[in-house]
A = this chain, B = another copy of it.
Amino acid sequence: MPVFHAHIPKGRFSREQKIAMGNALNRSLVVALGIPEGDRFIVISEHGDDELFIDPTFMEMERSVNAMIIEVQLGAHRPTSDKTALMAEICRQLGDAADIAPDDIFISLIPVPNENFSFGRGVAQLAGIPARW
């Protein structure tokens, strides 16, 4: 149930590339965290150049016009090692699938306790059980 929300520059990526990005983000969960492939809840938003402001060089990066911000709602129980593994894998997968440069990928992981997710039917399916994902 990590939920992704990617904010990308408008008109820079084709339909095929956006679908590839969705697949890549899902794949990063499977590879880095062993999360089931079916756990796919991903949102992409496009923003015009008067709606998306990303510094081109902050923290010694060389960002291009393709730079993007990716938010991930991640289980609050995850240790640092899981977080850094996921960040690295997101970059790898987005590079492989959609040719996005690693410098162009800003990531924030928003901690959300597992019991705060409902997969449907108004039920907190993961409440009261030990965290697997």
Q: A residues within 8 Å of B by Cβ?
A: 1, 3, 5, 7, 15, 18-19, 22, 26, 36, 38-47, 50-55, 57-59, 61, 63, 69, 71, 73-74, 80, 83-84, 87-92, 102-113, 115-125, 127-128
Contacts and interface: CB of A to CB of B under 8 A. Distances in A.
How many of these chains are in the complex? 3
B18 A41 contact: no
Contact of A50 (B7, B18, B91, B117): B18
Given A41-B106, A118-B87, A124 B80 contact: yes
A41 B63 CA distance: 12
Q: Which 6 A-B pairs have the closest CB atoms?
A: A91-B122, A38-B58, A88-B122, A59-B119, A109-B116, A44-B51
